[in-house]
Amino acid sequence: MTVYDHITQNKRRSWLLVLLFPLTIIMWLYAGVWAYYGVFLGSYRYDAQGNFVLVKSGALSVWELTNQTLIGLLPWVAGAVLVWLAVSYYYGSRMLLYFSAACPITREEEPEVYRLTENLCISQGMPMPYLCVINDHSLNSFVVGTRPQDTCVVLTTGLIARLERSELEGVIAHELAHIQNKDTHLMMLAVAYIACFTFLSEVFFRAAIRSASRLKGSKKPTGWLLGAAGGFILGMFFAVYGFMVAPLVRLALSRTREYLADASAALMTRHPLALASALGKISKDSRVEVLEAHASMSMLCIADPLPSNGVFGFLAGVGSSHPPMADRIWRLRQM
């Protein structure tokens, strides 16, 4: 596959992701509403006509209750999805830079980083991106932006301080390759896609806690109890998707783009062994503390910035957005 084939494929995947985004939300919302009616509004039974209905729902079946509710929610869900995608496209870069606590740097502060980036951009005929740093001793980097005017390469201070010049050049070239190959569009949409589910799970969990806190002293505790139960169920559905299913989406979308970015960086610098050496150092200390609260951003980084200990670390590893570091280094050494 050539670079141009990869760019075309990324554009096609971006549009597919845009289409699947609202459909997946509707599917999970439907499942959550169905579970809410099926479990917490009453017990199941078959009526005289053989319909599977709820004791408290009269003649309506679980599916009919769910369909009626979803029809009422559909316009609101569609509107929220469109707003989320628009905000992610136009303001996603600023949001991600804010979440990562990245700060812009000037030429006077980091002249070497500016020189390396400018030389690579000139050689590729690319516009100069913004440069930012994260104040962290670890070694990692990522790039954000869907438009030339908001594209930004982010490096940790540890990466700048601990890598040699040729290694740092290889890492910057890797990030510029993501811009050149149009990977940033795909990554930004995928991050927005995953973050939406984790955000919704938090919203519903908070609603459930608020409803549960109002049970005491309430004249109508049943309503607050049902609200708490419904919020908990919907929160669980979105949490399961955001933290367990979404990593598989990342796996399908982003492994090949890391291999291509490595190869493109090696082509830019004509020095694949330098990037291989940098990846070896990064793999030993890639954890970025500020990103631990924003797991969806891990797919943006050159190496997974999240700790991989415990059960949840194993689950994240099953759907890792990055190929094995040893394999990436081996491929670079073969070039």
Residues catalogued as catalytic = 175
Rounded to whole angstroms, how far apart are CA atoms 21 and 189? Answer: 9
- Residue 325 near residue 269, CB atoms below 8 Å: no
- Residue 113 near residue 160, CB atoms below 8 Å: yes
Residue 138, φ and ψ in degrees, nearest 5: -75, 175
Residue 52, φ and ψ in degrees, nearest 5: -85, 105
Rounded to whole angstroms, how far apart are CA atoms 183 and 194? Answer: 17
CA dihedral sign of residues 37, 42, 44, 49: negative
Rounded to whole angstroms, how far apart are CA atoms 228 and 211? Answer: 5
172, two tokens? 């910057």
- Dihedral angle, C-alpha 84, 88, 91, 93, nearest 10 °: 150
| CA distances (Å), origin 95, targets 10, 182, 231, 243, 256 | 23, 20, 27, 20, 26
Rounded to whole angstroms, how far apart are CA atoms 306 and 295? Answer: 7
Residue-level length of the chain = 335
- Residue 32 near residue 233, CB atoms below 8 Å: yes
To the nearest 5 percent, what fractions of the chain are helix, strand and coil? 70, 5, 20
